[in-house]
Chain A
Amino acid sequence: MRTLRATLLAFVLPSVALAAPPILVVDLSDSYTHSTALAGLLADVDRELKALAQMHRPAIDRLRRELREAKQREPDNRELQLAIARSISDLEATAERDEERLAKANETAIGEVQRAIAAAKATLQSETGARAILDIHETYYVRQDCPCLATERLYELLNQQLPKVELRMAPAE
């Protein structure tokens, strides 16, 4: 058994030491389906967008209807028409601000995922001893079965490190 161990040490370890510095390639183009955090974030943003639309749309539609009716019923009452138009404009501005808060929250969450991707890349690099991790966009050809392809492992690490990201919207002013 000692001979076997010695043989393994003699053959295997030098091969690790002498191996050329490896380069890994990752393809993050499908991250919205492979990252559980990003897939969840996408669903959250979609739900929030629908909720925001639902929050303001009925009131805006009602006011537009009222404005149409006011124009027909009291064409000379400019004050009433202006008051309704101002209410519509205020509501639209509120809806726009809500969408901006959502966009900001989305941006913050994406930033968190990007930091997690960088951390997962660092973990991948240290666990494989790779010299560098290239994004697929930095390459012009990668053999289909290249051992350098490490996308799946990167997603495993990313999903372990950040299974979910919160969409934290700042409170409305």
Chain B
Amino acid sequence: MRPGEGLTRFLLRSGMLAALAGLWLPPALASPLTLLTIDAGYLESTMPLYASIAAQAAVSSPGVTAKRRSDLELARELRHSEVLIALPEVIAEVARGAGADLVVDRAVARRLDQTAARDITGEVERILVARFGQLPLEPGS
């Protein structure tokens, strides 16, 4: 056995080498990141959920008063903001479930040349639709 060979074998067997490698590398280089992407613009403003909320608020009946119309518009805005408030929580929920390190917008991922990153827009949208899609715009309606 050559000098140092026993030590090498011990380090390899005990996993110490990997641990040492981890220590010697700067943290950012130690492990590749699990990056996910979303289409933030879609989730924040253009997904069909918002259209269905708006449809609930749209009142075509001619007998509806201006005050009632304004109340419904307010309820629509409120629901939209509730979805926006829930959005970061839902993104975090999906990201945690996927064991992700980072979630960024698709445009940022493209800028970083991370085009192969898994996109979770659909999963986030499904959760939001399940949570808010069937909810009446006003309590008791």
Contacts and interface: CB of A to CB of B under 8 A. Distances in A.
Interface in A15-62: 15-16, 19-25
A15 B102 contact: no
B89 to A, nearest CB: 10
Most buried by B among A5, A141, A148: A141
A80 to B, nearest CB: 57
B17 interface: yes
B8 to A, nearest CB: 5
B2 A2 contact: yes
B26 A148 contact: no
Interface in B24-45: 24-33, 35-36, 38, 40
A52 B4 CA distance: 72
How many chain B residues sit at the interface, stated as a range, is: 35 or more
Interface residues of A, number: 35
Interface stretch (B58-66, B76-84, B103-111, B125-133): B103-111
B24 A146 contact: no
B101 A143 contact: yes
A27 B79 CA distance: 30
Contacts, number: 115
A3 B8 contact: yes
A46 B133 CA distance: 50
Contact of A138 (B8, B108, B113): B108
B95 A143 contact: yes
Contacts of B33: 20, 22-23, 146-148
A11 B4 CA distance: 16
B37 to A, nearest CB: 9
Contacts of B28: 22-24, 128-130, 147-148, 150
A118 to B, nearest CB: 17
A44 B7 CA distance: 58
B8 A22 contact: no
B74 to A, nearest CB: 28
22 contacts: A1-B3, A2-B3, A4-B4, A7-B11, A8-B17, A11-B18, A12-B25, A19-B25, A19-B29, A22-B28, A25-B102, A128-B26, A129-B29, A139-B103, A139-B108, A140-B88, A141-B102, A141-B103, A143-B96, A148-B28, A148-B102, A150-B27
